[in-house]
Amino acid sequence: MIEFFLIDVFILLFSLAALAVFKSHYILNRLTHGSIIAAMTAGLVFTVQAYVNAIPLDVALFHHPGLGAISLHVDTLSLFFLGLIQIGGIIVSVNGIGTLSMYENLRPIKPTLIATVLLFFSMQLVVVAYHAFLFLVAWEMMALAGYLGIILEREKEEVQKGSLVFFVATHVGTLFLYIMFLLLHWQTQSWEFSKFTLQSNLPSLISTVFWTGFIGFGMKAGFMPFHFWKPETYPVAPTHLSAALSAIMPKTGIYGLIRVITWIHPVDYFIPSALLAISSGTAIMGIWNALTQKDFKRMLAYSSVENIGIIGMALSITMFGIMYQQPLVTFLGLAGTLFQTANHFVFKSLLFLSAGTIQHHFQHRNIERMGGLLKSAPIFGGIVLIGSLAISGLPPLNGFASEFLIFSSFFEASHSLKSYFPFFMLIAAVALAFVGGLAVVAFSKNYSMIFLGKAKATVPQSFHITVYEHVSLILLTAMIVGLGIFPEAIIGICTQIFAELFPSRQLVHWGSSAATIRHVGMVAIAVVLIVSLLMIWKSKLATLHSTRVSAPWGCGYAAQTVRMQYSGTSFSDMMVHIAGKALTAEKEFVLPGNTFPAASSFQTNVKDFVLHKIILPVSNTLQWVTEQFKWLQSSQIQIYISFSIVVLVFYLYLAFYF
């Protein structure tokens, strides 16, 4: 069984060696992505076999006298995330062949190919590493690979800005992970994950470990206020890597948070309550920001923030269930967390890969200048519509299935835990329903601006989609529909993960939840079929009987133009107005002022609150402070030597007294 995982690693290393041998970009593109597909396929065989055997697997790499046993560990939780990474690697690499083929004759693509290989290698290593040092090495490799992949078009200012924000944010998160592991080592005298179990009589340490871990892993996942790097990074990365960075890499943050929860065994209700509040705010503000965006890749980035918030809401219910020893609450929260994680990977991959195709067609990312794509690409439009419905949580697709489990966890917590829980679970349920409503509005706007109406500007080329893009999108569409109609596939896996993480808890029966999801899905399918049949019947009746055809009423405008179509700004203006200053929206408009007015205009610009109101002001302040010490760079050797002596004396003082 382990040989398939070794094949996975060997093929990835082989692809790195091949990059040093071949020079043709055409060959390198197909060879590297083909190698990743082969490696991920072999790894997926290992994952499936390990899951079927249901036996935790330990692989000792070496033993260090000071660090202990550095090893790999594969349990059902690792296998779940390993499977997502491997399936994602296959789909992203298939699409990547088509994406990078456009750059083969324009610029060097070897660094991007190296980054892709290292990214999938390091992500796999992150979820199987069972030692703090090995985990941090893999985590750092993943961050550097992501940075290297983003800078394909490094001459662009937005790429330079986005890659810098990503680099800084990911290393700030890593700093907090260092602190978390140091605290765990101080308490357990070990760097091995198997020894990381904190006692309940240390509430202050438990709280500190959780919040340092939350900042470290939450920075990668994208919880607010640590989300600011996503809208700056995802739009500027190559399409296939933006899908990997948005739909796959943040899942390592969710994996890390679940591990932390199993280590600390929370006893203070403040931690899950705070997590529920933070996650609810993340979901609401994420989708509200998404609604206001003109750049559809930035819109998808904020939508990812929203989905991370939904995952965090379910994770908080898991913690409540652990704390109050309620197996069903724990299971529903965990199942909702994992199911939403898997679903987000599927529909966000589809939407980001589709976004790359749309960008290539229109040669820009501004939805205000798009329109009419459905006429030239009806099949592609149908695929994007399915992804938009799924991410909005509508039945019978996979997004509805996972959100139904999360709603069920709210109701079960309200029923089982009593006390103040009915009130707070009601607030959480309303918040999640509100998020779903905003998601419908946001993706209705996005879809209508891109696919419906008429094109608002001349399109430089006819629509074209490569076979690689088609294959990847069709696979993801099948997964969206399949997981929505047959949720047992994921819920069954969640049952095994629950049994392994919490062996002392009694196994719960989840069949009723899956049956309800399936029944609602079948009703939704029946409604769609009935409406479709009625439309076909109406069309046939129209052909049998004479029908008067005339121009539509144009509200008094005889000569309609594309400028009379609804813009994205107008579509979302009311929701922006409701949010008020929370979105830091700035409206710019020129009103007609006389009998023969000049051209009028109206637009809304929304800047990320955290980045522009907190991060950048702090950064500018630090830059000003450092500039005050420029006199140290006077090129006088006496100043350098004096400064070195002062620092040395300070370190000696610390070493002597502490």
Task: Give the tens place of pLDDT for each residue, 228-282.
Answer: 888 888 888 888 888 898 889 999 999 999 999 988 876 678 889 999 999 999 9
In a 13 Å sphere around the CA of 507, the CA atoms on its Cβ side amount to 12
Residue 58 or residue 215, greater confidence: 215
Task: Give the tens place of pLDDT for each residue, 107-129.
Answer: 788 888 899 999 999 999 999 99
The pLDDT value given to residue 510: 57
What are the tokens at 478? 């099948």
The pLDDT value given to residue 70: 84
3-class SS string, 424-479:
HHHHHHHHHHHHHHHHHHHHHHHHHHHHCCCCCCCCCCCCCCCHHHHHHHHHHHHH
What is the percent of the chain with per-residue pLDDT over 90, rounded to a whole number?
Answer: 24
Task: Give the tens place of pLDDT for each residue, 439-459.
Answer: 998 899 889 888 887 777 777
The pLDDT value given to residue 379: 92
The pLDDT value given to residue 52: 84
Residue 423 has pLDDT above 70, yes or no: yes
Separation of alpha carbons 489 and 494, rounded Å: 9
At 363, the pLDDT band (50, 70, 90 cuts) reads: confident
The pLDDT value given to residue 511: 59
Separation of alpha carbons 285 and 309, rounded Å: 9
Residue 599 has pLDDT above 80, yes or no: no
For residues 184-192, give the mean pLDDT: 85
What are the tokens at 37? 């597909």
At 432, the pLDDT band (50, 70, 90 cuts) reads: very high
For residues 50-58, give the mean pLDDT: 79
The pLDDT value given to residue 502: 83
At 480, the pLDDT band (50, 70, 90 cuts) reads: very high
Report which secondary-structure segment, H or E, holds 61. strand 57-64
Cα 510 to chain centroid distance, Å, stands at 27
The pLDDT value given to residue 249: 92
Rg (Cα) of the chain, in Å, rounded? 26
The pLDDT value given to residue 188: 83
Residue 123 or residue 590, greater confidence: 123
- Are the C-beta atoms of 424 and 302 separated by less than 8 Å? no
What is the percent of the chain with per-residue pLDDT over 70, rounded to a whole number?
Answer: 85
Residue 131 DSSP class: B
Residue 158 has pLDDT above 60, yes or no: yes
The pLDDT value given to residue 120: 92
For residues 85-95, give the mean pLDDT: 92
Residue 504 or residue 391, greater confidence: 391
Residue 402 or residue 569, greater confidence: 402
Residue 507 has pLDDT above 70, yes or no: no
The pLDDT value given to residue 124: 92
| Claim: this prediction has a pTM higher than 0.85 | yes
Residue 495 or residue 510, greater confidence: 495
Residue 634 has pLDDT above 60, yes or no: no
At 514, the pLDDT band (50, 70, 90 cuts) reads: low
The pLDDT value given to residue 508: 63
Task: Give the tens place of pLDDT for each residue, 295-326.
Answer: 889 899 999 999 999 999 999 999 998 888 88
Residue 396 has pLDDT above 90, yes or no: no
For residues 559-579, give the mean pLDDT: 70
Q: Which of 198, 197, 166, 191 is nearest to 177 (CA)?
A: 191
The pLDDT value given to residue 628: 64
